[in-house]
Structure 1
């Protein structure tokens, strides 16, 4: 059996002379949350629609849990659960009756025990017998995930799943996906909300104008080398004296902001101990040092801007 829950190979989609998706390849490991990032119109939804066979591919292939979609369609699709648009249900029916309805359409029989299991998994036990029209958007999203999980797929695919959710709902949904991944289910999620994806995903790919321009783990992306500049804030008794002291030293820095008790400068990571030592030797009290970490947004803008500059040359 493949080590990957999903493999996308050389995905290409053309409409007449226009290339919408251009030779995109990536793989999702078992038990990980993998993000597809990119601005609206980058091609994320087109890629997802090709994976779940809602639209045809011009080129390429997809393998789901070891099953090639072209040669083993039924086996591949039975390993896949997806929510491509906002989940739609019969609002006059209860959440349970909706799940029971979908269960009857499944290829293999789905037991009452399995329905109860997924209801518990998405934390809808207290509302499952209420009519769907009484559900909040977040509850409908979780019911949609429960429906997608009924047949116990190897991978769950979600397209912009947090659209319309309030901050509390987004956090609850993110925490739920982490719990899901911990059980061994893989998740492929697309979004343009970079701050949320940084908290949600283990690895990600950036799609820009239909091309895959970057793929890495989240830890690799936000990590910085010792010589890279970052903002460092020093909490002091008198930040103005600290600034004069720093100007008289030999450490290269760039001033960012000065407040009564806080000096913020740009330094390399390797310079932070030397600056702290300088302050202490001059008799200055340092109450706190905080270094800003790179964000996914920083890296995303760096990569997409770089590609844009290269395209202009």
Structure 2
């Protein structure tokens, strides 16, 4: 069995003379939440539609849990659970009856115990027997996830799953995805909401103009500790403090924030040295805090770099 839940190999989509997706490759490990990031129109939905075979590929292959779409289409598709657009249900019957309807159409035999398991997993035990027309958008999204999980797929694929959800619904949905991942489910999720993806994903890929321009882990704390980071100083005498720090070469990327605060780009050991110098010189240090780079900062840094490298 493959070590990857999903492998995308040189995926390409051309419509006429227009190149929509350009030679995209990535792999998703088992139990991983993997994010596809990019602005609207970047090609994220086209990539997902090709993976789930809603549209044809111009070139490339997709392998799901070891099964190639080209060589064993039925087995490959049976490993996928997906919500590509807003999930649709029969609104005048209950959530449970909607799931039973899906089970009756499924090629695999799905026992009642599995239905109850996914209902519990998505947190719909209290409302599963209510009519779907009474459900909030967040509840319908959860019912959609339950339906996608019924046949026990290897990977769950979600395209912009938090669209239209309120902040509480987004938070709940994020927690459900983390629960799924903790139980071994792999998840591919696309979005343009960078702040949410930062909380949701283990790794991410940036798609811009149909190209994959960057892949990395979401949490790179070890690497961050090795490089300079922005620290904010809240102290009693900023003018004197900056003068002292400058004498010791600790005034890199100085930014004056207000009467008592400034920021510097320092490594962790340099922060300790700066604090010691300030205290020794009778300057009161009220707070030193690190300003962690957000996913938005990294996204803009990466995309701006990419744009500068493209010849005009």
Query: TM (normalized to structure 2)?
Result: 0.95
Offset of residue 272 of structure 1: 1.5
**Separation in 1 of the partners of 2:218 and 2:239?**
37
Which 5+ residue runs of structure 2 have no aligned equivalent?
none
In the alignment, what sits opposite 1:139? Answer: 139
Q: Number of residue pairs matched?
A: 311
SS in structure 2 opposite 1:20?
strand
- The 5 A counterparts of 1:194-273 are 194-220=194-220, 223-224=223-224, 226-228=226-228, 230-247=229-246, 249-260=248-259, 262-269=260-267, 270-273=269-272
Match of residue 101 from structure 1: 101
Counterpart contact for 1:64–1:79, Cα < 8 Å: yes
Task: Tell me, in whole angstroms, the C-alpha distance in 2 between the residues paired with 1:297 and 1:222.
Answer: 20
What is residue 157 of structure 2 aligned with on the other side?
157
Q: What CA distance in whole angstroms lies between the structure 1 residues aligned with 2:182 and 2:288?
A: 35
SS in 1 for 2:310: helix
Tell me the CA shift for residue 234 of structure 1.
Answer: 2.0
Name 1:305's counterpart in structure 2: 304
Residues 80, 153 of structure 1: 8 Å contact kept: yes
* Deviation at residue 293 of structure 1 after TM alignment: 1.2
Aligned mates of 1:30, 1:220 — CA distance in 2:
20
How far apart are the structure 2 equivalents of 1:84 and 1:265?
44
Q: Distance in 2 between matches of 1:207 and 1:142?
A: 27
The whole-number CA distance in structure 2 between the counterparts of 1:294 and 1:258 is 17
Tell me the CA shift for residue 291 of structure 1. 1.0
SS of the counterpart of 1:312? coil
Which residue in the other structure is 2:63 paired with?
63
Deviations 1:212-254 (A, max 9, x none): 11111112389525443x3312233444553454455532334
String of CA shifts for 1:181-221, please: whole Å, max 9, x gaps.
01101000000111111110001111111111111111238
Q: State how far apart, in whole Å, the 1-side matches of 2:13 and 2:249 are.
A: 56
Is the contact between residue 250 and residue 266 of structure 2 (CA under 8 Å) also seen in structure 1? no
For the Cα contact (< 8 Å) 1:239–1:258, is it kept in 2?
no
**Offset of residue 34 of structure 1:** 0.4
Distance in 1 (CA, whole Å) between partners of 2:257 and 2:26 is: 46
TM-aligned CA distance change 1:258 to 1:309, over 3 Å = closer
1:112 and 2:118 aligned: no
Equivalence for 2:190? 190
* Cα distance in 1 for residues equivalent to 2:165 and 2:213: 29
Larger CA deviation: 217-226 vs 193-202: 217-226
TM-score scaled by length of structure 1: 0.94
Q: Secondary structure at the match of 1:6?
A: strand
After TM superposition, what 4+ stretches of structure 1 lie above 4 angstroms from structure 2? 238-241
Q: Residue 234 of structure 1 contacts residue 263 of structure 1 at CA under 8 Å; is this kept in 2?
A: yes
Deviation string 1:59-114 (CA, Å, 9 cap, x unpaired) is 01111111111111111111110000000111111100100111111111111111
| Aligned counterparts of 2:65 and 2:212: Cα–Cα separation in 1 | 22
- Which structure 1 segments of 5+ residues have no match? none
